[in-house]
């Protein structure tokens, strides 16, 4: 029997430590399996985003499913809710908003899966490619 990999796992920041949840179980991010593992820039990005924008839900995407590195969903009430970002971190890259390329080619499929799994309505998803600091600046400013 073949096991189908989850497109993404949710990341949480609690007391400065990153955790992930799958099937209602919370574990330290250091225990993530290789398709979801966080390298240096990815871990820094996740911590900084979740610290700066507590209303965001952040998902680490499966690295072999062409959905980018993360999907960040703005869960604040009102106008911003239902807006998300499919994020591909690229060292020393200029910020590109709206550009998918190969790495974000299947981000919509992952977002639809998140809608079903978490009973969400995601009205818009913005593909974003760039260096982690410039993406953090964009997300800190809001939509």
pLDDT of residue 92: 84
Nearest to 70 by CA among 86, 84, 57: 86
pLDDT of residue 81: 64
Average pLDDT, stretch 48-68?
91
pLDDT above 60 (res 1): no
pTM (whole model) above 0.75: yes
User: What three-state secondary structure class fits 13?
Assistant: strand
Asked if 22 contacts 127 with a C-beta cutoff of 8 angstroms, the reply is no
Asked if 96 contacts 129 with a C-beta cutoff of 8 angstroms, the reply is yes
pLDDT of residue 71: 95
pLDDT of residue 22: 80
Q: 70 pLDDT band (50/70/90 cuts)?
A: very high
Mean pLDDT, the chain, integer? 87
pLDDT of residue 89: 94
Average pLDDT, stretch 56-65?
91
For residues 63-82, one letter each, b for 16 or more C-beta atoms within 10 angstroms of the residue's C-beta and e for the rest, the string is bebbbbbbbbbbbeeeeeeb
pLDDT of residue 90: 92
pLDDT above 90 (res 74): no
């Amino acid at each position: 029997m073949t096991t189908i990999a989850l497109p993404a796992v949710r990341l949480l920041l609690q007391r400065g430590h990153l955790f992930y949840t799958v099937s209602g179980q919370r574990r330290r991010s250091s225990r993530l399996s290789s398709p979801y593992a966080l390298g240096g820039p990815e871990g820094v990005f996740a911590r900084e985003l979740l610290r700066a924008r507590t209303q965001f839900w952040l998902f680490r995407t499966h690295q072999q499913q062409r959905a980018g590195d993360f999907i960040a969903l703005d869960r604040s009430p009102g106008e911003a809710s239902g807006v998300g970002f499919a994020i591909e971190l690229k060292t020393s890259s200029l910020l590109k908003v709206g550009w998918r390329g190969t790495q974000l080619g299947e981000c919509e499929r992952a977002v639809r899966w998140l809608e079903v799994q978490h009973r969400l309505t995601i009205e818009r998803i913005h593909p974003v490619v760039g260096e982690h600091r410039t993406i953090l600046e964009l997300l800190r400013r809001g939509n």
